[in-house]
A and B are shown apart, each in its own frame.
Chain A
Amino acid sequence: MSSPRSLALPSIVRSSGAVAYLFLLPSLVFLAVFTLWPIVSVIWGSLHARRGRSQIFVGMDNFERIFSDPFSQQVILNTVGYVTLSLLMSVFGGLLLAILMNQGLKNIGFFRFPFLATIAMPMVSVASIWLFMYSPRVGLLNDILGGLGLPRSNWLSDPDLALPGLFVVYLWKQLGYFSLFYLAALQSLPDDVLEAATLDGVTFWQKLRHIIWPLVSPTTYFVSTIGVLNSLQQVDHVFVLTQGGPNNATSLALYYVYEQGFKWFKTGIASAMTVILLAVLLTMAILQFVYLERRVHYQ
């Protein structure tokens, strides 16, 4: 039997920090293979265009195409609108829902459950359920509207309604997720502060504005970050419900990347759009870090 001492490393190795790198190595390898290398290769791809089996260097051509083509411009606008709305709704809608769920009602769990249950459902199933609800002639939504004597709509085929229609599906599924964080934050708020405010005759609105909102700001910071990421990543409902149609009205950035890259194998355009997405996300992360982080109130 060898003694544990025999495992000790020579002092030269220990002092040079090699041990630290040794322990970091597995993570570094994965980071390099699955994060750094794809970034390098997507940048390389964005400067090339595929013809047949060969890749031709085209410089910034792919980016010019994306910014000059009205259809990809529309994709960018769609995405900006969708993400902005998602940011607002995940913060304000999430907080509002959390406040409602935080009421000390009897059987509050009964009311919380439906909002939280949607988190566990896969987006594909959710979208399939909504496909039926939106269906123009046999769908639930139009049945209800028709029953009430209201005009029916062809929800997903109307270019003005289709993107909001997708957003409603996204919100229906994800709002509970965001409110969950707020619910946790609300439940950890100090009771004495809120009680004192109530005794001082502060209105609900003032309490929300001056006490709750600042106190949950770390959560707001967190929710706004994942809200943006989440809305950019969810693409399943586009596949199931509209496939980007009608006439490009519901094409979002990630769907565009899929369509260009994996349906038509225009890897150059797909890579260029990915680089744009990456740049935007990095910028946002830096801005949020520098600006929001400073204003967040940590207890």
Chain B
Amino acid sequence: MFNRALAIRLLVLFCASALLIGGTFAQEPITLQFFYPVGVAGPLAQAIDGYVAEFNATHDHIQVEPVFTGGYAENMARATAAILSGQPPDVAILLGIDIYTLIQLEGIIPLDDYIASEDGLDIDDFFDAFMANNIADDQVWSIPWQRSTPILYYNKDAFAEVGLDPETPPATWEELVEYGKQLVVRDGDNVTRWGVEVPTSFWIFANFAIQAGQHIGSLGDDPCAVYLDTPEATEALAFLRRLQEEGVMPDGANAWGTAPADFIAGAAAMIYHSTGSLSTLLANSPFEVGTAFMPAGEAGYGANVGGGNYYIMKDIAPERQDAAWEFIRWMVRPEQIGQWGIDSGYVAPRNAAWEVDPLMSYAAEVPQASTARFQLEYAVKEFPATYGGQEIQVITTQAIEAVNTGEQSPEDALAVAQERANEVLIQNGCEL
């Protein structure tokens, strides 16, 4: 019996000391799981994987494992599923507008303490329009990363060809129609080049409503606000239909992904698209690409911001959250986020990035890169930053589709959409 007891004691001692030694000398690096989507054309996944590799090479105690999760919708779906199953990623790029959904899921943490800490961040350096979707209950929940507004891209060669001044893009809705008509090329009954192509999407439509005088979403901190059945929104949607009726824009719904391809192929002389597509369009268009503010409506210029931010997840250990913050802080350094702006076309979301290389020299060389930045002066919070926002996106896009395919009048389509959006909000506990 004595021998057996001794053996057990020795074994316990051995295990304990092994643990102690392991813990002291061979500290395991924290491995962070990082979800990110790609929302525009181009090899952006390679760019992000490259930055992460550089981060990993320069940090011994943190290793980031990037997980490409598809487009924004799939990315959010995977993040939601992970949060609901209690096994979230550590850090993720998710849409700014999903903030309330994520708070409702208890999936994210506010970042104010990190921002104010010694290893903090000068949050005032970030552009106001790009912080609008990041704040709820007076707390900052995410840090801007791949931020954009739509801009007008135009084919300068086509402008010159029809006698328009390539340096004077359309500045108003009326000019858009007028220039569009001149740019259309017909071959018998078929149009071989359209004047303008506006993708059928809630995100693009929101800009027209702002230009008409009333945003379709909240400008402040209200997760229950959707304004789709206003006279301004109706006017905006009627204008989109008018572009088709005047033969300037292709009939039917126009897919988000088709517009850049059509522009590059010369099948559309102007397109509305994310500034995130800039690099792809500049690199692949066999003509000179012009960029401009989206033309002004009755209420002047207006833009709906968009894009993704860094969020840190809630159900993970504090040291993992700390590590995630260190990673975010590294990624949004002025030089780093400026490089990202060049690689992608997204608007580097902080002032400091534009004041250092590489972005400073690039902006001087490629003036198109600054269009969206200057348009920010007219930019507001992105729609739909509400509960159930993913569904309200689709509801809004369906209303635009119904009008762009000639199924419904703008009034009817938007009334239906408003009613459906209200239903979603009520289901999520809003009192309307």
Closest B residue to A154 using CB positions: B252
In the bound complex, do residue A154 and residue B250 qualify as a contact, i.e. CB atoms below 8 Å apart? yes
The stretch from B321-329, B350-358, B367-375, B401-409 touching chain A is B401-409
Interface centre among A49, A245, A266 (most CB of B within 10 A): A245
Task: Note all chain A residues with C-beta closer than 8 A to B48.
Answer: none
Q: How far is the CB of B421 from chain A (nearest CB, A)?
A: 12
In the bound complex, do residue A247 and residue B401 qualify as a contact, i.e. CB atoms below 8 Å apart? yes
Task: Note all chain B residues with C-beta closer than 8 A to A205.
Answer: none
Alpha-carbon distance between A264 and B73 when the two chains are bound, in angstroms: 9
Alpha-carbon distance between A53 and B262 when the two chains are bound, in angstroms: 43
In the bound complex, do residue A247 and residue B106 qualify as a contact, i.e. CB atoms below 8 Å apart? no
Kindly identify which residue among A138, A146, A259, A265 contacts B80, using a CB–CB cutoff of 8 Å: A265
Say yes or no: A52-B252 contact (C-beta < 8 A), given A159-B407, A246-B401, A247-B407. no
Alpha-carbon distance between A262 and B390 when the two chains are bound, in angstroms: 11
In the bound complex, do residue A71 and residue B420 qualify as a contact, i.e. CB atoms below 8 Å apart? yes
In the bound complex, do residue B73 and residue A154 qualify as a contact, i.e. CB atoms below 8 Å apart? no
In the bound complex, do residue A146 and residue B190 qualify as a contact, i.e. CB atoms below 8 Å apart? yes
In the complex, whether A210 has a CB less than 8 A from a CB of chain B is no
Closest B residue to A152 using CB positions: B190
Q: How far is the CB of A247 from chain B (nearest CB, A)?
A: 4
Kindly identify which residue among A52, A245, A263, A264 contacts B106, using a CB–CB cutoff of 8 Å: A52
Alpha-carbon distance between A248 and B391 when the two chains are bound, in angstroms: 13
Per-position contact with B for A245-273: 1 when CB-CB < 8 Å, else 0?
11110000000000100111110000000
Kindly identify which residue among A149, A246, A264 contacts B388, using a CB–CB cutoff of 8 Å: A264
Alpha-carbon distance between A246 and B250 when the two chains are bound, in angstroms: 15
Say yes or no: A246-B189 contact (C-beta < 8 A), given A137-B265, A263-B390. no
In the complex, whether A294 has a CB less than 8 A from a CB of chain B is no
In chain A, positions 76-109 with a C-beta closer than 8 Å to chain B are: none
In the bound complex, do residue A138 and residue B84 qualify as a contact, i.e. CB atoms below 8 Å apart? no
Q: How far is the CB of A140 from chain B (nearest CB, A)?
A: 14
Say yes or no: A157-B254 contact (C-beta < 8 A), given A137-B267, A138-B261, A262-B81. yes
In the complex, whether B428 has a CB less than 8 A from a CB of chain A is yes
Closest B residue to A142 using CB positions: B190
Kindly identify which residue among A53, A154, A245, A265 contacts B251, using a CB–CB cutoff of 8 Å: A154
In the bound complex, do residue B265 and residue A247 qualify as a contact, i.e. CB atoms below 8 Å apart? no
Task: Note all chain B residues with C-beta closer than 8 A to A137.
Answer: 250, 258, 262, 265, 267-268
Task: Note all chain B residues with C-beta closer than 8 A to A149.
Answer: 188
Alpha-carbon distance between A152 and B404 when the two chains are bound, in angstroms: 17
In the bound complex, do residue A263 and residue B189 qualify as a contact, i.e. CB atoms below 8 Å apart? no
In the complex, whether A158 has a CB less than 8 A from a CB of chain B is yes
Kindly identify which residue among A49, A151, A157, A245 contacts B189, using a CB–CB cutoff of 8 Å: A151
In the complex, whether B10 has a CB less than 8 A from a CB of chain A is no
In the complex, whether A136 has a CB less than 8 A from a CB of chain B is yes
Task: Note all chain A residues with C-beta closer than 8 A to B391.
Answer: 264, 266
Closest A residue to B194 using CB positions: A137
Per-position contact with A for B405-422: 1 when CB-CB < 8 Å, else 0?
101000000000000100
Contact residues of A: prevailing secondary structure:
loop
In the complex, whether B171 has a CB less than 8 A from a CB of chain A is no
Number of interface residues of A (CB under 8 A): 27
In the bound complex, do residue B429 and residue A263 qualify as a contact, i.e. CB atoms below 8 Å apart? no
Kindly identify which residue among A158, A159, A264 contacts B390, using a CB–CB cutoff of 8 Å: A264
Number of cross-chain contacts by CB at 8 Å: 83
In the bound complex, do residue A246 and residue B252 qualify as a contact, i.e. CB atoms below 8 Å apart? yes
In the bound complex, do residue B267 and residue A247 qualify as a contact, i.e. CB atoms below 8 Å apart? no
Alpha-carbon distance between A266 and B387 when the two chains are bound, in angstroms: 13
Task: Note all chain A residues with C-beta closer than 8 A to B73.
Answer: 263
In the bound complex, do residue A51 and residue B189 qualify as a contact, i.e. CB atoms below 8 Å apart? no
In the bound complex, do residue A138 and residue B106 qualify as a contact, i.e. CB atoms below 8 Å apart? no
In the bound complex, do residue A138 and residue B189 qualify as a contact, i.e. CB atoms below 8 Å apart? no
Q: How far is the CB of A269 from chain B (nearest CB, A)?
A: 10
Closest A residue to B254 using CB positions: A157
In the complex, whether B291 has a CB less than 8 A from a CB of chain A is no
In the bound complex, do residue A245 and residue B398 qualify as a contact, i.e. CB atoms below 8 Å apart? yes
Task: Note all chain B residues with C-beta closer than 8 A to A154.
Answer: 250-253
Kindly identify which residue among B268, B388, B402 contacts A247, using a CB–CB cutoff of 8 Å: B402
In the complex, whether B139 has a CB less than 8 A from a CB of chain A is no
Task: Note all chain A residues with C-beta closer than 8 A to B80.
Answer: 265
Per-position contact with A for B186-215: 1 when CB-CB < 8 Å, else 0?
001110000000001000000000000000
Kindly identify which residue among A49, A136, A246, A262 contacts B200, using a CB–CB cutoff of 8 Å: A246
Task: Note all chain B residues with C-beta closer than 8 A to A225.
Answer: none
In the complex, whether B427 has a CB less than 8 A from a CB of chain A is yes
Per-position contact with A for B99-115: 1 when CB-CB < 8 Å, else 0?
00000111000000000
Q: How far is the CB of B82 from chain A (nearest CB, A)?
A: 12
Given contacts A157-B405, A259-B394, A265-B81, 18 further A-B contacts (CB under 8 A): A49-B427, A51-B104, A136-B250, A137-B258, A138-B262, A138-B265, A154-B250, A157-B255, A158-B252, A158-B405, A159-B401, A159-B407, A245-B398, A246-B398, A246-B404, A247-B253, A264-B391, A266-B391
Binding site for B on A (CB under 8 A): 49, 51-53, 71, 135-138, 146, 149, 151-152, 154, 157-159, 245-248, 259, 262-266
Query: Which A-B residue pairs are the 4 nearest by beta carbons?
Result: A157-B252, A154-B252, A157-B253, A247-B401
Binding site for A on B (CB under 8 A): 73, 76-77, 80-81, 84, 104-106, 188-190, 200, 250-255, 258, 261-262, 265, 267-268, 388, 390-391, 394, 397-399, 401-402, 404-405, 407, 420, 427-429
Can you pick out 13 interface pairs between chain A and chain B where the beta carbons lie within 8 Å of each other?
A51-B429, A53-B106, A136-B250, A136-B252, A136-B258, A154-B252, A245-B397, A245-B401, A247-B407, A248-B398, A263-B73, A264-B390, A266-B391
